[in-house]
Structure 1
Amino acid sequence: MSTLRAAWQHLPTHRRVWALALPMILSNLSVPLVALVDSAVVGHLPQVQQLGAVVVGSSLYAMLVGVFGILRMSATGFAAQAYGRGDGGALRLVLLQSLLLAGALAVAIGLLAIPLSDAALHLMQPSATLDALTREFFHTRLLGLPATLACSALVGWLLGTQSARGALAVLLSTNLLNVALNLWFVLGLDWGVVGSARASVLAEWCGALVGLTLAWQALRRQPGQLQREQLYRWHSWVALLAVNRDILIRTLALHLVFFLITVQGTRLGDATVAANALLLNGLLLAAFALDGLAQAVEALCGHAIGARDRLTLQRSLVVAGGWSLLGSLLFALLFLLGGHWFIDLQSDMQPVRAVAYVYLPYLAVLPLVAVWSYLLDGLFIGATRAREMRNAMLFSVTLALLLGWALRGLGNHGLWLAFLGFMLLRGSSLGIIAWRLGRQGAWISSTADGEKHAQPSGPRR
């Protein structure tokens, strides 16, 4: 207990945590702002199909690229460890490999995007006007695909080098430019739906250029040279590809849970599925804030592991964990005391409000349960231990599905209890794995695995 107290009382660690967390919280909160402005701007156009096209087209685009936030996570972990080791050559290799992987994924997704969007629109069966406008928006939006994925990798790499301000600059420049260009292209130039897509594409390419400039400036301050021959050796790619594969599986499993919540809610009635969506927006709001602290953990713990600094690793976890707990308590109180206001702010439909009020206690408990999975995700990402994250997620999803099936007779109460169980399983399984690795002294020794990414000495296990 005295060790934890001493770690919490280390003020320099508090400053380092917030120096990373605060910019990431601000950048996270800028994301829903763009979606809100897009809807508001296009919502002032004369045809309802124009707003529908932006909503549907954006959803299709997000569905294709959303899971590839894995590029940010893997870049953060490997860059943080290389930065902790003071290995400028590995930093250069991680950046270039992440950008090349982003480019390859952009080509692959681009080839699949048209047939997949055709199939999705066929299932939706929109009107002819909505179908045509959605295709126009979506096809234009694909021109920004390489930049979207490159920005993800660049933000992760900058965060790994503990340049949260650089990551913030990339995200804010992209999102604020997107807002400004939307107003100009849609309302000023009267380009309609395609103007909104062009605004996003141009903003994303500008954001990628900002990220590349900041990364180049950061590398100028780091001694070391890129060993180009490693780009042509398979074993120098194995660790990065394995981590991205495992994080992708983990992310798809997580998305499956939220998809099933929507499906089951739909079966319980229109008002129920809408009410559940409003409540999950509360979790999304909490996650945006608490993820900032988790991302600070990624950078600080990855750096500590790279530097083989057990004390800094412990301090980073204790301080970030303490602030995460306080943040989750704040959100719990917000939803407990102001939950009705939060629901009313989102909808004026009385049937939906009435259903949402019933399930507000679940939302109030949710941040207290979910916060630990966010925090521990940061630790495992910083340590590039994606295999353990994947296994914990698959285990949690499997048991949560069984729990949901057992509680199906309780209706929406059973659904929310199963979701709380999933979040509890997710955090506790990661916690058990983290404790076991700690007992084995494996967190710091995992640096040797990270070095295998930077030096041609074999694949990461």
Structure 2
Amino acid sequence: MTGQTAPREEITHRRILRIAVPIVLSNITVPILGAVDTGVVGQIGLPEPIGAVGLGAIVLSAVYWVFGFLRMGTVGLTSQALGAGDRGEVAALLTRALLIGVAGGAALIVVQVPLFWAALRAAPATPEVEALATGYMRIRIWSAPAAIAIYGITGWLIAQERTRAVLAVQLWMNGLNVVLDLWFVLGLGWGVSGVAFATFLAEWSGLALGLWFCRAAFARPEWRDPAQVFEPARLKHMMAVNGDILIRSLLLQAMFVSFLFIGSGFGDVTLAANQVLMQFLTFSAFALDGFAFTAETLVGQALGARALGRLRRAAVMSGTWGLVIVLALSAVFALAGGAIIDLMTTAPEVRQAARGFLPYVVAAPVLGVAAFMLDGIFIGATATRDMRNMMAVSFAVYVAALALLVPAFGNHGLWLALLISFVARAITLGLRYPSLEARAS
């Protein structure tokens, strides 16, 4: 397949960086787009459009996030098929991923009215903001099939180490979105609807570009062979993998949502401080994504080829790079964390509170890197049942830590419970790692 790296190529530091760096660069573009959307509607001079775009984008991002399993599951399954030399299955997996994405997006279009109503009841705003946000979402929802299908395309490309193509799709979508934002909002005066139409067009064009990068798969007959695409055993396996990842991701999301909700009980200042510090964790995740995705790809290929040595080398080398990244991040947070906080907020009381909890985000990358990288390893191995079960155990540990520490230590206890959950995920997944090597051998 065009642009595809041979699965048996030696695993080197250069190969790892070749996969990881485009993903890191791709992630950097995500917050830039959000800032441009906000800045463009901010030129209207009213607070309601800013709130409407922010609220609508959060709701749709949360809904689309549910389908994140499609990217992760597609990476593991495709990389294993590639490692096993089954090029026909690689092509068929792309079709399955696209069908799931389009079907999921179509389902969201069908249920949009009750979906938006429930979302706005969960996060109520003023009537004017809600009306503008609803209009924004009613436009954007029509690109849901494209947005979700792109998850599948992204996973399929990552599995073949074609992360430059992933970066190109992201840059194209975000770049076009920015240009259309400026034209529709500032040039044509379309307001909030202009931002929504810009994203709608950018997502459909991103799907078209992604399909062009996948064109080699369409040269094979298997991509449109119903017997191959809907082969019962493989379809059942894909559904099981995606279901496990979905449950695991929902538990992980519940952990972070509960963190924010519990933190809100300590007052507005503490809540704001926690929100500022959570951006440190988000940045850490963006930086680590590239190396976790690398682990997914190389571990999956090694397992598909039943190559124990390559599996172990992929796990160790990608994990080593992850550790290097988090040590650098922790050093930056320790040395410049106060200055970063000052850039993010001008409120003196929030600055002071955030500095008091800064040590937790200095420690978080180091304590969380093992869990993050093991997630990538287990996704690549499609050992998703273990991921699901160990996440459930870790969530239970988190809840127990909350019950013990929050009453005694307040927000400090909340941060400690979160860090303990990171360690629990690392330990529980680490105990299951030998089973992956047993499968490879």
In structure 1, the residue matched to 2:129 is: 130
In structure 1, the residue matched to 2:415 is: 416
* Per-residue deviation, 1:12: 5.2
- Asked if the contact 1:156–1:167 (Cα under 8 Å) also holds between the matched residues in 2, the reply is no
In structure 1, the residue matched to 2:115 is: 116
Matched, 1:369 2:367: yes
In structure 1, the residue matched to 2:25 is: 26
Alignment RMSD (CA, Å): 1.7
Distance, in Å, in 2 between the alignment partners of 1:399 and 1:124 is: 29
* Per-residue deviation, 1:416: 0.5
Distance, in Å, in 1 between the alignment partners of 2:11 and 2:84 is: 20
Matches within 5 A, 1:27-106: 27-106=26-105
* Per-residue deviation, 1:404: 0.7
**SS of 2:44 mapped into structure 1:** coil
Q: Counterpart of 1:87 in structure 2: which amino acid?
A: D
In structure 2, the residue matched to 1:3 is: none
In structure 2, the residue matched to 1:311 is: 309
* Per-residue deviation, 1:112: 3.0
**SS of 1:245 mapped into structure 2:** helix
Distance, in Å, in 2 between the alignment partners of 1:106 and 1:326 is: 38
Tell me whether 160-169 or 388-397 shows the greater mean CA deviation: 160-169
Q: Counterpart of 2:295 in structure 1: which amino acid?
A: V
Tell me whether 326-335 or 122-131 shows the greater mean CA deviation: 122-131
* Per-residue deviation, 1:422: 0.6
In structure 2, the residue matched to 1:394 is: 392
- Asked if the contact 2:381–2:436 (Cα under 8 Å) also holds between the matched residues in 1, the reply is no
* Per-residue deviation, 1:233: 4.2
In structure 1, the residue matched to 2:166 is: 167
* Per-residue deviation, 1:175: 1.6
- Asked if the contact 1:89–1:226 (Cα under 8 Å) also holds between the matched residues in 2, the reply is no
* Per-residue deviation, 1:113: 3.1
Tell me whether 247-256 or 111-120 shows the greater mean CA deviation: 111-120
- Asked if the contact 1:298–1:382 (Cα under 8 Å) also holds between the matched residues in 2, the reply is yes
Identical-residue share of aligned pairs (%)? 39
User: Which segments of 5 or more consecutive residues in structure 2 lack a partner in the other structure?
Assistant: 1-8
Distance, in Å, in 2 between the alignment partners of 1:191 and 1:48 is: 16
Distance, in Å, in 1 between the alignment partners of 2:222 and 2:13 is: 31
Distance, in Å, in 1 between the alignment partners of 2:421 and 2:102 is: 34
In structure 1, the residue matched to 2:5 is: none
Change over 3 Å in CA distance of 1:437–1:296 after alignment to 2: closer
Change over 3 Å in CA distance of 1:232–1:287 after alignment to 2: closer
In structure 2, the residue matched to 1:452 is: none
Q: Counterpart of 1:235 in structure 2: which amino acid?
A: A
Matched, 1:240 2:238: yes
- Asked if the contact 2:334–2:362 (Cα under 8 Å) also holds between the matched residues in 1, the reply is yes
- Asked if the contact 2:95–2:223 (Cα under 8 Å) also holds between the matched residues in 1, the reply is no
Post-superposition CA distance 1:346-377 (Å, at most 9, x none): 10011111110000000000000111111111
**SS of 1:359 mapped into structure 2:** helix
Change over 3 Å in CA distance of 1:11–1:328 after alignment to 2: farther
Distance, in Å, in 1 between the alignment partners of 2:262 and 2:230 is: 48
Q: Give the TM-score normalised by structure 2.
A: 0.94
* Per-residue deviation, 1:141: 0.9
Change over 3 Å in CA distance of 1:129–1:147 after alignment to 2: same
* Per-residue deviation, 1:405: 0.6
Q: Give the TM-score normalised by structure 1.
A: 0.90
- Asked if the contact 2:368–2:426 (Cα under 8 Å) also holds between the matched residues in 1, the reply is yes
Change over 3 Å in CA distance of 1:198–1:226 after alignment to 2: closer
Deviation beyond 6 Å, 4+ runs, structure 1: 222-225
